[in-house]
A and B are shown apart, each in its own frame.
Chain A
Amino acid sequence: VALTQSPGTLSLSPGERATLSCRASQSVTGNYLAWYQQKRGQAPRLLIHGASRRATGIPDRFSGSGSGTDFTLTINRLEPEDFAVYYCQQYGASLTFGGGTTVESK
């Protein structure tokens, strides 16, 4: 299952909403789709699993939606610490990561 993330880069200001897309080449089994945040020099951090379930300790401005082949990560009211790279991952049929979306400060 190949995952395509878009856009490659999103330039936004603090307080704005970010909408990130992850499209799968075939339906993701069980909607086993996760989103990770990675800041420079750090390990990835799990944000969302099962397409829409927030991981422990993740603020509610992060939300995931979608099913089948089309998934979305939405970040409401961007905070300065949210500027980072975001990856989607499917873990329903083996494993695949998307290529990432960079959310940068405008």
Chain B
Amino acid sequence: QVQLVESGGGLVKPGGSLRLSCVVSGFTFSDYYMAWVRQAPGKGLEWVAYITGNSIYTNYGDSMKGRFTISRDNGKNTLYLQMDSLRAEDTAVYYCARWGVAFDYWGQGTPVTVSS
């Protein structure tokens, strides 16, 4: 069955960095676009970034551009999100999602807290 498992979240100081990982199984990873979506406490969903199956194209939400980098290792069935220059407003649960027919599978999320 399809599974997505995020890791790497935690507490980080403003200006710091964090790398999230999402290990997938149950499908041919390289065949799918993948995405990161976040949800601040008590707020709605916000897309963070997405990447094509062959990593040729990436796109980012406006507030993430220049600070976050999405990447993937198809040999390891793993999606990454490198987050730099973190701000308090980046505090959220970060989900990875498979972009099949829309976002058809999601991980359970990993929480990121940016605080001094």
**When the two chains form their complex, are residues A46 and B103 in contact, meaning their CB atoms are under 8 A apart?**
yes
The A47-64 residues at the B interface (CB cut-off 8 A) are: 49-50, 53, 55-56
Interface residues on A, range: 20 to 34
**When the two chains form their complex, are residues B101 and A53 in contact, meaning their CB atoms are under 8 A apart?**
yes
Stretch at the interface among A12-20, A21-29, A69-77, A90-98: A90-98
Interface residues on B, range: 10 to 19
A96 to B95, CA, bound (A): 15
Contacts between chains A and B (CB distance < 8 A), count: 55
Residues of the A chain whose Cβ atoms lie less than 8 Å from the Cβ of B44: 87, 97-100
A87 to B43, CA, bound (A): 12
Residues of the B chain whose Cβ atoms lie less than 8 Å from the Cβ of A50: 101-102
A58 to B46, CA, bound (A): 24
Identify which of A91, A96, A98 contacts B99 (C-beta below 8 A).
A91
The interface of chain A, by Cβ under 8 A from chain B, is 32, 34, 36, 38, 43-46, 49-50, 53, 55-56, 87, 89, 91, 94-100
